[in-house]
Structure 1
């Protein structure tokens, strides 16, 4: 019985020490990211620390590193074969969405090369965020990787609407050039031209409306042709 008590006490001691060690590693890991200390982050991961660990606020480590501008730590995390590049935070934002929102096309490219998803049907997608941030390079990369140019969020908002709403005229015109549909109306009963007007960019609103008219005329001609044949 005494031996059992001693053994049991030893197990409890081990578990307690292990817990303390993990708690210390957790603190060290995120402190290192905050300081862009890639050496410590690399060392902890080599010792088995999970790169997918969330912050207390529910952010994946890589998203946390991006928000902190910890470029060296982002690079180290991306090199980990255990990293889940599609891990979402408490708001549902994935790392590539964070990179797009931060207008960092280098991170967007790296995440795409690691297999990050560029489409999220029925939800906010990376292209929405890239359009809203005015990141033309990120928009181009995402489209090249197969992103849906007319992706709709849960309330029916498209990337073109986001670009217009945030007055990112260059991106809005690029999306139009690449085939974005300007006729879509979301649940707030706004289309892209309406958002451009709200942003007080009449020139952009006019360009969107011209594109919408051309699209409407083209559809009418196609319908007429179908009926006559």
Structure 2
């Protein structure tokens, strides 16, 4: 069975085929996708948490980045104890541990990383240039956004293209998160490099609460 077929099964969420691939070739647990991702991160990125857990139960080794993305704080903590520099490290695709935890809603991991001094405002080293707050908003995790803001995250940080977290929340139609960001000082007048404000993105939604917040 090929690596390509294995990753295709992970992509589509076909647990039966993933298990069959692993039964035939356990070495697939340490295979690498065409984009350079491990099976665990690949499944996580494609929103297949049950398959990521299956891989872990089958013995897939976890790096700090995989542990952060999947919420395995019990694995991450010893790795950080052994190498404290990991708290500021970047993954192969340019994200910090905190950025991954923020996007995937791993509150316990994020809290532990912040306690260890993780920079809540560092941008990803890739084309997105997102901060952890951008990632939390993109993942629709209001609790994580609040945690980051409490730790000093810049509510008006700009990612590639000039997008702020408020714009991301408006683009997602997340009125409660928009409200929370505004309460923390998010600037509704800020504009992207193309001149669009958060209100422009809010117009794509019929939610009256969202439009009232961003007229």
TM range (shorter): 0.5 to 0.7
For 1:127 and 1:185, the matched residues in 2 are separated by 18
TM-score of the superposition, structure 2-length normalised? 0.65
- The answer as to whether partners of 1:193 and 1:208 remain within 8 angstroms in 2 is yes
Matches within 5 A, 1:68-83: 68=70, 70-83=72-85
For 2:174 and 2:39, the matched residues in 1 are separated by 35
TM-score of the superposition, structure 1-length normalised? 0.61
Report how far residue 92 of structure 1 moved.
1.9
Q: Secondary structure at the match of 2:144?
A: helix
Report how far residue 62 of structure 1 moved.
1.5
- The answer as to whether partners of 1:127 and 1:147 remain within 8 angstroms in 2 is yes
Q: Secondary structure at the match of 1:187?
A: coil
Question: Max radius of gyration: which structure?
Answer: 1
1:102 aligns with 2:123: no
1:151 aligns with 2:172: no
Q: Secondary structure at the match of 1:155?
A: helix
Q: Deviations over 1:113-140 (max 9, x none)?
A: 1111111369310011112222222111
The 1:192/1:35 distance shift into structure 2, 3 A limit, reads: same
- Number of residue equivalences: 165
For 1:75 and 1:37, the matched residues in 2 are separated by 21
Counterpart of 1:35? Answer: 56
For 1:205 and 1:86, the matched residues in 2 are separated by 38
Counterpart of 1:127? Answer: 133
The 1:85/1:172 distance shift into structure 2, 3 A limit, reads: same
RMSD over aligned CA atoms reads: 3.2
Counterpart of 1:175? Answer: 181
Q: Deviations over 1:26-77 (max 9, x none)?
A: x5xx899952699x97xxxxxxxxx9xxxxxxxxx22223344545423433
1:197 aligns with 2:197: no
The 1:178/1:185 distance shift into structure 2, 3 A limit, reads: same
1:164 aligns with 2:170: yes
